[in-house]
Amino acid sequence: MARSTTGFLDEAEGLVLTNLAERAAQANFGPLVEIGAYLGRSTLFLAGGIAGSDTVLFSVDHHRGSEEMQPGWPHHEPSLVDPVTNKMDSLTRWRHAVGLAGVEHNVIAIVGESSLIAKYWQTPLGLVFIDGGHGKSIAWGDYLGWAPKLAQNAVLVIHDVFPSPSDGGRPPYEIYAHALRSGVFYEDESMACGSLRVLIKGNASQLDR
């Protein structure tokens, strides 16, 4: 079902998420959080890795669409405009995907602004997947809000990391580069896929393989 769900994640990238979610569930550092859910494609790839475990994925999205999904922008989908509010609303279709995939036991939606939710979040996390808006303040808000919530040795995954500016917007790359420079994270380069980058919270000497 993940494969057939509309979204901006390559299948190969999605399967990396499944793999990482499965590992996070086994490591049992804490629940998973994804920022940016849209219609549930990444949600289902992540859920595929934790289904059958007691691990939970909190799926954070205001479901009003990011900047490039608004009317007049390239990724706008007119069928997602709610006629009552006249605003984008991807929550209904997200719920369809999660319900039809049978993963409601492991997946909880949190509908609202990511950085505001982060402000009140206290539980240490086993995995954070940042795939929200690409604007500077949004991407940095997601990183600064959620990266500190990761447990030691837990995984920070960032989508749309483009080292070359000609391939895409800068903020996801900038937060990735900042995370590495900070010394708080090191990269597991073996898991890099497409524009997905995988960082581990801790010291590279702890890499046991």
Name the site residues for Mg ion (rule: CB under 5 A): 8, 131, 159-160
Q: How far is the CB of 86 from Mg ion (least distance, A)?
A: 25
Whichever of 62 and 159 has its CB closer to Mg ion, that residue is 159
Give CA separation, 127 vs 55, 76, 144, 180, in Å: 11, 29, 15, 17
Rounded-to-integer distance, Cα 80 and Cα 96, Å: 13
Nearest distance in Å: CB 150, Mg ion = 19
| Minimum gap (Å) between residue 152 Cβ and Mg ion | 26
By beta-carbon proximity to Mg ion, the closer residue of 157 and 200 is: 157
Of 62, 96, 105, 134, catalytic: 134
Q: Are 57 and 34 in contact (CB under 8 A)?
A: yes
Nearer to Mg ion, 123 or 137 (CB): 137
Token pair recorded at residue 21: 């979610």
**What is the token pair recorded at 164?**
């070359």
CB of 96 to Mg ion, least distance (A): 21
Q: Known catalytic residue: 134?
A: yes
Q: Which CB, 22 or 34, lies closer to Mg ion?
A: 34
List Cβ<8 Å contacts ≥24 apart for 73-76: 75/8
Tokens of 10: 């390559």
Write down the least CB distance from residue 130 to Mg ion, Å.
Answer: 9
Q: What are the residues whose beta carbons fall under 8 Å from the beta carbon of 16, sequence distance 6 or more?
A: 191, 193, 196, 198
Q: Whose Cβ is closer to Mg ion: residue 30's or residue 172's?
A: 172
Return the sign of the alpha-carbon dihedral for residues 162, 163, 169, 175: positive
Task: Give the chain's largest Cα–Cα span.
Answer: 54
Distance CA 122, CA 49 (A): 24
Residue nearest to Mg ion (CB): 159
Annotated catalytic residues are: 134
